[in-house]
Amino acid sequence: MSGLIFWVCLALFGFVLILYQLYPDERPLGAALVHRFAIVGLAVLGVLWGVFMRRPLGINVLYRLDAMITLGIGGVFGLSAYVNSEQRAAVWAAFIWHTFTVFSRALVVPSTGRRSAVIGAASYVPLWLAGLASALEHPEQLEVPPLPFVIGVVLFSGMATLLATTGSRVIYGLRAEVRQAQQLGQYTLDTLIARGPMSSVYRARHALLRRPTAVKLLPPEKHGADDLARFEREVQHMSQLTHPNTVAIYDYGRSPEGVFYYAMEYLDGVDLEVLIHLDGPLPAPRVVHVLRQICGALDEAHGRGLTHRDVKPANVILCRRGNQPDVVKVLDFGLVVEVERGNSSEGPAVLGTPAYLAPEVITSPERVGPQSDLYGVGAVAYFLLTGHRVFAGTTVAQLCLAHVHEAPIPPSARTDLRISAQLEFLVLACLAKDPSARPAGAHALRTALAEVPEAEQWDEDAALAWWRAFEERRKPAVDGAGTAGPRTITVDLMARATTSGKLS
């Protein structure tokens, strides 16, 4: 409100100064005094807007500022009307400009009708006094007799206050209804973290626990029943996983509008795709440290008969948990399938990210299993070590053909960073076309990674130093976040219970 009125009054003040320069004979006798008050008023508004609004303020402070701004503007316009009372239109011009202020407040500031009525009426008092003084001191300037003039001033301000009060009451009531409806929900969405063609992820807060949470939304208008069912299966599968390197699931449900969502732990880190684009290829010891944690998460999933099917850098978050750096979290099991249901009567489907698809996902989707995830681990390792994807292509078809038929260039030939022969052998083994030629499983790959020369070369001190530098580097982005207004979703617990019963 202070910023809005600042710019409007600045424009008005500039217009008046230019007008008096062009028509000096029209300049009122008390113009200099009014201009001083206007400059002081603009300075106060500028300070309120530029300083106080940059920090969180209590509601009582905001109430006082609200009253001070409106009453102060009414006082300045009242003074202007009185000082310029020898001009015929002075009072009415001041009334019109101040009415803009009162109406703007009704639109911008959340306020009850009673509060708007009190502040609006009080802010017109200086103008009533200016009108009364004009009627007594300069009756010759009035187009109507003094008494009707004073009554007209009171009626004009009363009607303006009544209209502003009604608007405030309606807007405030609508906001209250929205808040009341939103109280059915458990999660308040604050900041958009990521938006894709199929879903959106928001940083959120639980209504009672107040812990930071990430909420993923799947709008029904973008998906069919099969997509929604697969999304719900994703939640159920992920909620079974308890490995520390797998993102934890807290809750799921549907809003009354049909938006399916699930709430998971909020990870204040960086995904591997972004990390490589920011810093380039990682040193091999750090890559081994990351890969071993990915294998740990996949080992638990495979042990439960689950295959991820979309292992890629964007689905791996590197974060700092407590004071422990470089903690990996594997997320987005949106394409997870149960191995024993691979021959479902619904028929297999080619799902995943083309740059990281195992050959059998393309040629024989019914053969997809844990070995397919190991191919994804190999493709992720290749990307982390070289900064390049295993194969390049301008179309999905080119990428798919390359995965099926082309041999990958050894990663050591595509980077200047040192890669041991043992690590390169493991990466290329994961990228074997034949699933049986890959490591025996995620546990076996993790064990093999522990034996490469780089396994013990990335220590906690190096990781902490990197994270301190990284957090310093991203401070401006963090401080500027949160531009999106809070949103809340409601949870239909009965619908969730019904769907859960059907799927269990």
Tell me which residues are annotated as active site. Answer: 310
Give the residues across from 437 on adjacent strands: none
Which DSSP category does 282 fall into?
A: P
**The two structure tokens encoding residue 110:** 């959340």
The answer to whether 102 and 164 have CB atoms below 8 angstroms apart is: yes
Query: Which residues, 6 or more positions from 34, have their beta carbon under 8 angstroms from its beta carbon?
Result: 28, 76, 79, 80, 83, 84
Closest CA to 449 of 372, 380, 391, 386: 380
DSSP string, 405-473: HPPPPPGGGG-SS---HHHHHHHHHHT-SSGGGS-S-HHHHHHHHTTSGGGGSS-HHHHHHHHHHHHHH
**The two structure tokens encoding residue 61:** 């402070």
Backbone angles phi, psi at 268, to 5 degrees: -90, 75
Please state, in angstroms and rounded to a whole number, the distance separating the CA atoms of residues 282 and 241.
28
Q: What burial letters (b/e) apply to 72-83, b meaning 16+ CB within 10 Å?
A: bbbbbbbbbbbb
